[in-house]
A and B are shown apart, each in its own frame.
Chain A
């Protein structure tokens, strides 16, 4: 998780007060009487108990989770690694369906999606939990906890869609924590939103099995994947995960022609070597295509990784240069305000077609998805 951080300390204070945080936006959902009955909540407001969709029953009331590559074997009364799915008497349940801990109206660029409806807002939500344990997690207060430990509220998929409509948000983003571990909720939101013309965006680590991901893609509008690094060592030592399943997810997204953007949080000394960035960029180019946007974002010390300094801007400059040298057309620099890599340039004539200041769109020159100068198509979802 990189740019997509709802001002963590402020968020935590709001969450601790029992409110669903809506920060940094022009609207205050919490003050909206039309939504007031659904938003207030508090700690211990309860767990949902909705049957999980992706698991296999095993002997002696055990189950094997079929959602993420961990394939947790879970005994009766126990939970998977994510902490939000529980075996009760041999049946597996999600405890967080319709129980978000954050509902927030963000610029879509904050996810970051730079090629999806620029300048529009995304109703962004999270339920607790994650299937990785990244030492640099920026939202660990909601991602690395069990659902009892954060305030949540009741919000059915239909209520989320209504909230998006009410605020004229053309997208709903499942984000902040790890939506893979609340995939049932994601699916139901997306299925309810799609007929209403609202796209659902998945902001994920991509650590998911092929079957659930394939099913989710039937209803999702676009996907952003946090590619943590390009080595198994990094995934094992920094995230307690694996790289290969994430690469499989990226290949699947390309095969299904789902609009995908990729974020890499560049961390000094851990994943910032020229060789690694080059291999990563080559993978994206060869397996997904040169038009897939790659966001290289700046690391700041966080959670357990406090002994590593922030990423120097020159490291990001070099990484961007390397990725473009490998043939990628849209390589961005994130978390650096005013950097030339914040903008979108036409690969045909190098005209700046979208000018941004951080995550705000200052000017868009796109003409029906094309460069106004050379008329080259700029890939993305523009309407």
Chain B
């Protein structure tokens, strides 16, 4: 690419950003106001002791709808999850639900959680055809219990596989080709991560899950993924589309991640929901540290795995990382 081409591309990006800003002003979807729309960063945590009976591993769907709905509503400041979704999404949106399926069934974003989100998107008048559930690969999605659907009807569900854009984009400290569906189609994102430990990043909850939208995540795991996680989350393709983060903690894991390790997983029985992607990770970090302490494990700081990228993301204006300034609500 020549310098002139690069300049043209930059101008296009600026124009596109201006367009997004104007469009968003009509709804409460402006990413610049996410999480702090009402003056604070709110993280809603809903826990139900019996949500995942260990013996069966099955989720009580009615209970899930109730607790997740309550968390969504509390995090957005509405009376119901339906109202929250109408506030977050426009009927014209194409909504991507980015799940985390690296660890297979048992420690991935649960299909039941995602199905409930899809239900509310429908109630926000978003047609099924404009909802995409996706992750890195078909193989991982299937292994985590998702049913693939590349048809033109119904909610689509597929892995990026090799469908990345052809030209890399700079994003702060890194450069990557982004998933084609994110670049071409999606106008809004729900990030559904998993409450778990990560051997290099410290934790894998919300923002770390966004590594799954680039073609070369393997390049950015050194130095505890710092500052890469923060820089990636700040890219306009993500920052301007991310409307909600949901952390699936029905079963969580405090050590041995990102793969599943039954020894270190526990029934947290809860979900975290926030419009602030930084605040929700800060809370997830505290939950994992608390559990590690209970289990007699060294802290992530002591292990040299402190997720420094959470504070770095706050420094980039993506949200609030200080627990004292995060409004934690029980749902």
Contact with A along B221-241 (1 / 0, CB 8 A): 110000000000000000000
CB of A222 closer than 8 Å to a CB of B: no
Closest A-chain residue to B255, C-beta based?
A: A60
Complex Cα–Cα for A140 and B166 (A): 11
Known contacts A70-B222, A75-B200, A81-B218; 20 further A-B pairs (Cβ under 8 A): A43-B162, A61-B259, A75-B256, A75-B258, A76-B256, A77-B259, A78-B199, A78-B200, A78-B221, A78-B258, A83-B219, A144-B168, A145-B215, A146-B216, A148-B137, A240-B219, A301-B1, A301-B2, A301-B3, A307-B6
Complex Cα–Cα for A133 and B218 (A): 11
- Across the interface, which residues of B come within 8 angstroms of A83, CB to CB? 216, 218-219
Determine whether the beta carbon of A146 is less than 8 Å from that of B215.
Answer: yes
Closest A-chain residue to B170, C-beta based?
A: A304
CB distance from B157 to the nearest CB of A (A): 17
Determine whether the beta carbon of A149 is less than 8 Å from that of B219.
Answer: no
CB of A189 closer than 8 Å to a CB of B: no
CB of A165 closer than 8 Å to a CB of B: no
Determine whether the beta carbon of B170 is less than 8 Å from that of A144.
Answer: no
Contact with B along A214-234 (1 / 0, CB 8 A): 000000000000000000000
CB distance from A141 to the nearest CB of B (A): 8
CB distance from A356 to the nearest CB of B (A): 30
B contact residues vs A (CB 8 Å cutoff): 1-3, 5-6, 102-103, 137, 161-162, 164, 168, 170, 175, 198-200, 215-216, 218-219, 221-222, 256-259, 261
CB of A82 closer than 8 Å to a CB of B: yes
With A303-B168, A304-B170 known to touch, is A149 a contact of B162 (CB < 8 Å)?
Answer: yes
- Across the interface, which residues of B come within 8 angstroms of A70, CB to CB? 222
Determine whether the beta carbon of A77 is less than 8 Å from that of B200.
Answer: no
- Across the interface, which residues of A come within 8 angstroms of B219, CB to CB? 81, 83, 133, 144, 240
- Across the interface, which residues of A come within 8 angstroms of B258, CB to CB? 75, 77-78
Determine whether the beta carbon of B199 is less than 8 Å from that of A80.
Answer: no
Determine whether the beta carbon of B215 is less than 8 Å from that of A73.
Answer: no
Closest A-chain residue to B3, C-beta based?
A: A307
Closest B-chain residue to A89, C-beta based?
A: B259
- Across the interface, which residues of B come within 8 angstroms of A320, CB to CB? none
Interface size class of A (residues with CB under 8 A): 20 to 34
CB distance from A193 to the nearest CB of B (A): 30
- Across the interface, which residues of A come within 8 angstroms of B3, CB to CB? 301, 306-307
With A61-B259, A140-B168, A307-B6 known to touch, is A145 a contact of B1 (CB < 8 Å)?
Answer: no
Closest B-chain residue to A130, C-beta based?
A: B219
Determine whether the beta carbon of A44 is less than 8 Å from that of B259.
Answer: no
CB distance from B139 to the nearest CB of A (A): 9
- Across the interface, which residues of B come within 8 angstroms of A103, CB to CB? none
CB of A278 closer than 8 Å to a CB of B: no
- Across the interface, which residues of B come within 8 angstroms of A144, CB to CB? 168, 216, 219
- Across the interface, which residues of A come within 8 angstroms of B199, CB to CB? 62, 73, 75, 78
- Across the interface, which residues of B come within 8 angstroms of A82, CB to CB? 218
CB of A79 closer than 8 Å to a CB of B: yes
Complex Cα–Cα for A60 and B258 (A): 12
CB distance from B321 to the nearest CB of A (A): 25
Complex Cα–Cα for A148 and B222 (A): 22
Contact with B along A97-139 (1 / 0, CB 8 A): 0000000000000000000000000000000000001010000
CB distance from A93 to the nearest CB of B (A): 14
Complex Cα–Cα for A135 and B257 (A): 31
Contact with B along A136-170 (1 / 0, CB 8 A): 00001000111011100000000000000000000
CB distance from B201 to the nearest CB of A (A): 10
Determine whether the beta carbon of A146 is less than 8 Å from that of B218.
Answer: yes
CB distance from A308 to the nearest CB of B (A): 9
Complex Cα–Cα for A95 and B257 (A): 22
With A83-B216, A304-B170 known to touch, is A44 a contact of B2 (CB < 8 Å)?
Answer: no
Contact of A145 among B175, B216, B221 (CB under 8 A): B216
Interface set, chain A 52-86, CB cutoff 8 A to B: 60-62, 70, 73, 75-83
A-B pairs, 10 with minimum CB distance: A75-B199, A83-B218, A76-B259, A77-B259, A149-B162, A43-B162, A306-B1, A79-B218, A304-B175, A133-B219
- Across the interface, which residues of B come within 8 angstroms of A301, CB to CB? 1-3
Contact of A77 among B103, B168, B170, B222 (CB under 8 A): B103
Complex Cα–Cα for A381 and B135 (A): 51
Complex Cα–Cα for A304 and B167 (A): 10
- Across the interface, which residues of A come within 8 angstroms of B1, CB to CB? 301, 306
- Across the interface, which residues of B come within 8 angstroms of A75, CB to CB? 198-200, 256-259
Determine whether the beta carbon of B102 is less than 8 Å from that of A77.
Answer: yes
Q: List 30 A-B contacts (CB under 8 A).
A: A43-B161, A44-B161, A44-B162, A60-B256, A60-B261, A62-B199, A76-B259, A76-B261, A77-B102, A77-B258, A78-B199, A78-B259, A80-B218, A81-B218, A81-B221, A83-B216, A83-B219, A133-B219, A140-B168, A144-B219, A148-B162, A240-B219, A301-B2, A304-B168, A304-B170, A304-B175, A306-B3, A306-B6, A307-B3, A307-B6
